Structure 1
Amino acid sequence: MNIAKITTLGELKKSGYKPLSVKEEIRKNLITRIKNKENPFTGIMGYEDTVIPDTERALLSRHNILYLGLRGQAKTRMARQMVELLDEYVPVVAGSEVNDDPLRPLSKYSRDLIAEYGDATPVTWWHRSERYGEKLATPDVSVADLIGDVDPIKAANLRLSFADEQVIHYGIIPRSNRGIFVINELPDLQARIQVSLFNILQEGDIQIRGFKLRMPLDIQFVFTANPEDYTNRGSIVTPLKDRIESQILTHYPKTIETALSITEQEADILPEQQDVIDISDLVKRLIEQVAFEARSNEYVDKKSGVSARLTIAAYENAVSSAERRAIIHNEPKTQIWISDLVGIIPAITGKIELVYEGEQEGPYQVAVNLLDRAIRSQFVTYFPDPEKVKKKKPTGKKSQEAKVEENPYRSIINWFDSGNSIDVLVDMKDAEKIAALYQVDGLYAFVKRFFPQANEKEGALLMEFVLHGLSAYSLISKKVIDGRIQFKDLIGSMMNFGQMNFEEDDLTEDDLN
């Protein structure tokens, strides 16, 4: 159909155009997508076997939809992508506020216009990108905002009485007629406002200041809600929930691989950053693991959820930490070190809600603990589990080689137990950091044993990872003070900490001798 040549109602009739409801339109185009093995929700990962099939079933059933899930679970993105299931263009009566179908007009304006001009009634074409309306539910949203109200200024300008239908100023829902309309955070809408949606969803009646209009609006409704809202801020009134035919539960990524793909897609890394910064798979996995740890952590409010935005922001912060260090030292190329992950703590503290015990612990300390737990969880996917090594009991006299085989970390831990320590500055030059790591006896040999193909920088990153991992498993100590990370033996650190608690006045003359 050449829409450029169709500008009147008569030409539209001759073209053979047959109107469809918006839900029938979506259904028709979805069937075509499914037959062609095309994913209608591109860029949404982890929902291939859960949310997307549920959504397709709901749309095939011509249902209104409620997405129920925690924050950062792509609920609104799912709704916005439904626009691609609409026809590219549909005809509307020119000047209609409610996007009347020329063959099935609803408003008085369009009916009067067609009665006056007949087949000469002007027709315009509406692109699918404009057929989407969205409203964030807040307590101050009114019925007038959603449905409409009498406009006294319009009545005065047109010299009409308030009894005339033309004085109505339509709200956002009637103006979304023949499109998709989304209400985000539905429970935040006051109960009396939710009640105003009953007839729109079921019978198609709307009532404005005494006007009872029979306007069977043609809308695909999508609602989103967070389960937390049902107890903390409000609830969806039961009759409204009963009128929403399909409730679909969303969820967070179930695997690290899915989470990695989402972060890679969504993180806004500039080309000049990509040219300077190498980002290892190890670092990416550590960042994703932080979110997984947070979702099961006793200090984090599980009802609030941990959004995928945490790892996206953390990933961007990690890149910027390495970039800042490269700028300071005028280095043309660098990589993200484990020590750079100190820079992601602001991204963590801003994205988690804490329970009372977490507030007592403090957001910073909770974030540090989450990072340590992430290191601990990922460590065993690269190296032997230190917990199992610690539980092994020595059996008789053995050679040094046999002891190392029994505990591959022995030579590294012994080096620290001998009173040695290593300081790693967050803003340290790469060459200086590598030189510092090579001071630790047995560390390079240990990494080469498990990763013989690693180049110098990869090996150095793994060497640093080993130190953080041994610290996370309490085999050596780690202190982070003002941009400096110090690794030393565990017992010595504990004794030094204990000595700090003594005042000089408590010491006897024998102690001083």
Structure 2
Amino acid sequence: MNETSKVSIWEKIKTLGELKKSGYTPISVKDEIRNNLIEKIRNKENTFTGILGYEDSVIPDTERALLSRHNILFLGLRGQAKTRMARQMVDLLNEYIPIVAGSEVNDDPLKPMSKYARDLIAQYGDETPISWVHRGERYGEKLATPDVSVADLIGDIDPIKAANLKLSFADEKVIHYGIIPRSNRGIFVINEIPDLQARIQVSLFNILEEGDIQIRGFKLRMPLDILFVFTANPEDYTNRGSIVTPLKDRIQSQILTHYPKTIETSLAITEQEADVLEEQIAKVDISDLVKRLIEQVAFEARSNEYVDKKSGVSARLTISAFENAISSAERRAIIHNEKRTQVWISDLSGIIPSITGKIELVYEGEQEGPYQVAVNLLDKAVRTQFSTYFPNPEGMKKRRNTGKASQQERDDDPYKAITRWFDAGNHLDLFLDMKDAEKVQALYKVDGLYGLIKKYFPHANEKESALLMEFVLHGLAAHSLISKKVIEGKIEFKDLIGSMMNLGQMNFNEDDDLSEDDFR
């Protein structure tokens, strides 16, 4: 049936007799999804919209599973769009399906299974009222928690219903159906399935294998028609629970999800998901450089020794960080009554709360402290991205430290004028809430900084140049060519050797057990 005929059916058909005359043929939910998926693939339509980075991995695997009419387990770390994938499967359902009016379990009028539907059809025959259910109502979802019971999922005897209707507990009408039977002829999702107690998982065996349910002592034969989708985090297998083996065996397709594999994909996801207001967009510019630094933080975190890799680093980290970076610049603009500003590198100190709340630390990381780990991740992101914009100073630094750098190499060092300016005892303070104009003025004080930008980015405008100048300072600090210290709302740049000597002197002065005589 085409879309027009489907619309006319649900608008016109109100009784079982009319449905029979229309030529309606029942179809299982998995066949329904399969047919609509085939149509989408033939028409070159996106099966899962807004799901980025899965085009060559998770989406093809999911399509194969749906074509095979399989129940599915999405296995992956947090923040990998597992639930979103499941929810989008609703779009593969037919727009409307007919049910026996008033049925709690979406009884097919031509294949009634509940006592309610059978009794109604026996009483009214072809005059049995029919209602139509939209695909948006054919989706059930449950977060697995240790307190979930068999009654929640499958059902139980309702003593209140029995008392009100004056029925015996042996009467099928006293049954209160759980969320799974109520999702009949639709999609049902259980998130974090390992968190479900083992005895509750066992109650799902018969549903997955035979399609029917068992409630208390009732001998029910209700062949439920459901596509089951489960999600799980690999961490759960060791830390909280596990999927019992017989249940896992009954889930035909296990699909592994993953984090974005490239910065470009991660950028696109953040751009799509970040909740930034129009008034913020009108006030704050954010460069591609800053966006890449934010994404790089997540990539660094996923490989960092202090971060628990089994827990993962959600894509929500970069989304929250992006929003916080915009808000940091916006706050500064509001303080100084500036109509427009940009996100500076120093504004990224405002994304630290987005990092600390999104990473789980191993023991060594806890010892280091979440704040310091977040600062280190930001520095590593700057260090990694710096070499994609400017010459990598690491090689030159190594040769200089070993005394193997030739005079020509020293003369060709692009950072020589900048480091020499700091070595001469100069320092630069960049306050976090500085006016844009004041920050630009301060940056121009550093010898060789503007010249470096013009050499490698000759077409950069004034605003871009100023941002790149600040980036160079952070990059040189990340490569230990100059020192950087964040204190009392400002970032202080100094020469590295002088800062180390000052730190050593400070430690020396603070040691009460030693005096100068001890070193003579």
Q: TM-score range by the shorter chain?
A: over 0.9
In the alignment, which residue of structure 1 is the partner of 2:499? 493
Aligned amino acid, residue 480 of structure 2 = S
Aligned pair partner of 2:292 in 279, 285, 296: 285
Q: 1:24 aligns with which of 25, 31, 50?
A: 31
1:454 aligns to what SS in structure 2? coil
Contact 1:205 1:212 in 2 (8 A): no
1:160 matched residue in structure 2? 167
Q: Given the alignment of the two structures, is residue 295 of structure 1 paired with residue 302 of structure 2, yes or no?
A: yes
* In the alignment, structure 1 residue 192 sits paired with structure 2 residue 199: yes
TM-score computed with the length of structure 1 as normaliser? 0.97
In 1, the alpha carbon distance for the partners of 2:109 and 2:406 equals 93
Q: Which runs of 5 or more residues in structure 2 are unaligned?
A: none
Shift of 1:205: 2.6
Match of 1:469 in 2: 475
Equivalences for residues 424-463 of structure 1 within 5 A: 424-463=430-469
Task: State the distance in 1 between where 2:467 and 2:244 align.
Answer: 55
Given residue 412 of structure 1, which amino acid in structure 2 is its aligned partner?
Answer: I
Rounded Cα–Cα distance in structure 1 between residues aligned with 2:410 and 2:56: 49
Tell whether 2:421 aligns with 1:415: yes
> Pick from 57, 60, 80: which aligns with 1:53?
60
Deviation, structure 1 residue 379: 0.3
Q: Helix, strand or coil: the match of 2:228?
A: strand
CA drift at 1:503? 2.9
1:481 counterpart letter in structure 2: I
In the comparison of the two structures, how many residue pairs are matched? Answer: 508
User: How far off its partner does 1:212 sit?
Assistant: 2.1
2:364 equivalent to 1:389 = no
**Is the contact between residue 396 and residue 405 of structure 2 (CA under 8 Å) also seen in structure 1?**
no
Which residue does 1:4 correspond to in 2? 11
Output the CA distance in 2 between the equivalents of 1:324 and 1:403. Answer: 43
User: 1 CA distance for matches of 2:518 and 2:265?
Assistant: 63
Is contact 1:27–1:60 with CA below 8 Å preserved after alignment?
Answer: yes
Give 1:455's aligned amino acid: N
Superposition deviation, residue 424 in structure 1: 0.3
Partner-residue secondary structure (3-state), 2:430? strand
1:327 is aligned to 334
The answer on whether the counterparts of 2:204 and 2:247 sit within 8 Å (CA) in structure 1 is: yes
Q: Any idea what the Cα deviations from partners look like across 1:295-343, whole Å, max 9, x if unmatched?
A: 0000000000000000000000000000000000000000000000000
Q: CA deviation at 1:64?
A: 0.1
Q: CA deviation at 1:397?
A: 5.3
Q: Residue 275 of structure 1 is aligned with which of 282, 288, 296?
A: 282
Tell me which residue corresponds to 1:203.
210
Aligned-partner residue type, residue 356 of structure 2: T
The yes-or-no answer on 1:99 pairing with 2:101 is no
* Structure 1 residue 378: Cα displacement: 0.4
Deviation of residue 395 (structure 1)?
A: 6.3
Matching residue of 1:141:
148
- Quote the Cα distance in structure 1 between the aligned partners of 2:313 and 2:472: 28
Q: How far, CA to CA, are the matches of 1:396 and 1:251 in structure 2?
A: 47
Q: What secondary structure sits across from 2:78 in the alignment?
A: coil
Q: Which residue of 1 aligns with 2:258?
A: 251
The 5 A counterparts of 1:218-367 are 218-367=225-374
Contact kept? 2:308, 2:361, Cα under 8 Å: yes
Matched with 1:115 is: 122
Tell me by how many angstroms 1:390 deviates.
Answer: 1.7
- Cα distance in 1 for partners of 2:518, 2:104 equals 94
Deviates more, 1:154-163 or 1:489-498: 154-163
Q: 1:79·1:182 contact (CA, 8 Å) conserved in 2?
A: yes
Report deviation, 1:509: 9.2
Q: Is residue 399–residue 405 contact of structure 2 (8 Å, CA) maintained in 1?
A: no
Residue 162 and residue 408 in structure 1: after superposition, are their counterparts in 2 closer, same or farther (change >3 A)? same
Q: Is the 8 A contact 1:187 1:229 kept in 2?
A: yes
Q: Distance in 2 between matches of 1:507 and 1:16?
A: 100
Q: Which amino acid aligns with 1:363?
A: P
| Partner residue of 2:85 out of 78, 83, 91 | 78
Report the Cα distance in structure 1 between the residues aligned to 2:127 and 2:144, rounded to whole angstroms. 41
Q: Distance in 1 between matches of 2:242 and 2:407?
A: 69
1:146-189 CA-to-partner distances (Å, cap 9, x unmatched) read 00000111111111111111110000000000000000000000
Q: Note the aligned Cα RMSD (angstroms).
A: 1.5
C-alpha displacement of 1:502: 2.4
Q: SS in structure 1 opposite 2:352?
A: helix
Distance in 2, matches of 1:358 and 1:8, equals: 66
1:176 aligns with 2:183: yes
Residue 404 of structure 1 contacts residue 411 of structure 1 at CA under 8 Å; is this kept in 2?
no
The one-letter amino acid of 2:208's match is: L
Between the aligned partners of 2:94 and 2:212, the Cα distance in structure 1 is: 26
Contact 1:338–1:461 under 8 Å retained in 2: yes
Letter in 1 for 2:224: L
Deviation at 1:507, TM superposition (A): 5.3
Tell me how far apart the structure 2 counterparts of residues 127 and 211 of structure 1 sit (CA, whole Å).
Answer: 31
CA distance in 1, matches of 2:236, 2:46: 31
Q: Distance in 2 between the 1:510 and 1:421 partners?
A: 33
DSSP 3-state at the match of 2:214? strand
Q: Deviations over 1:428-460 (max 9, x none)?
A: 000000000000000000011000010011000
| Higher mean C-alpha displacement, 386-395 vs 232-241 | 386-395
Aligned AA for 2:498?
Answer: G
Q: Percent identity?
A: 80
Structure 1 residues 508 and 195: alpha-carbon distance in aligned structure 2, compared to 1, 3 A threshold: closer
- The CA distance in 1 between the partners of 2:316 and 2:301, in whole Å, is 13
**Which TM-score applies when normalising by structure 2?**
0.96
Q: 1:67 aligns with which of 65, 68, 74?
A: 74
Distance between the aligned counterparts of 2:504 and 2:40, measured in 1? 68
- The amino acid of 1:442's aligned partner reads G
